[in-house]
Amino acid sequence: MAERTDTRKQQSREQPTQFSLVTFKAYGLEATGTHVVLPGGNRGFTNGMYGEDGRQRALAQLAEGGYVVDLTPLAEHPNLTE
């Protein structure tokens, strides 16, 4: 089991986690990425990618065929901000 865990750690260091979905939050410059589910891979999500650098990182890790949901226009919607 330890050998399998070591192999996973080595793979994750060699290649960053790819995202199947990237969401830009409405308020603040934060991006969240949902991990591509691979057999034996890293499941879950990554959040806390802040600022323009965080957004660029999220887009760089977007898998081919992945989706981007940009919620920032909602911050200006008058019925949602009051």
How far apart, in whole angstroms, are the C-alpha atoms of residue 1 and residue 10?
15
From the list 30, 75, 73, the residue with the least C-alpha distance to 54 is 30
Please report, as a single letter, which amino acid is at residue 36.
V
Q: Is residue 2 part of a domain?
A: no
- Cα angle for residues 8, 15, 4 (degrees, 5° grid): 10
Using the predicted structure, report yes or no on whether residue 13 has a pLDDT greater than 80: no
How far apart, in whole angstroms, are the C-alpha atoms of residue 54 and residue 52?
5
How far apart, in whole angstroms, are the C-alpha atoms of residue 67 and residue 74?
18
- Residue 23: pLDDT band (50, 70, 90) is very high
Q: What is the pLDDT of residue 77?
A: 84
For the chain, how many structural domains are there in total?
Answer: 1
Q: What is the pLDDT of residue 32?
A: 94
Q: Is residue 1 part of a domain?
A: no
- Residue 82: pLDDT band (50, 70, 90) is low
Range of the domain at 63: 16-81
How far apart, in whole angstroms, are the C-alpha atoms of residue 32 and residue 45?
7
Q: Is residue 3 part of a domain?
A: no
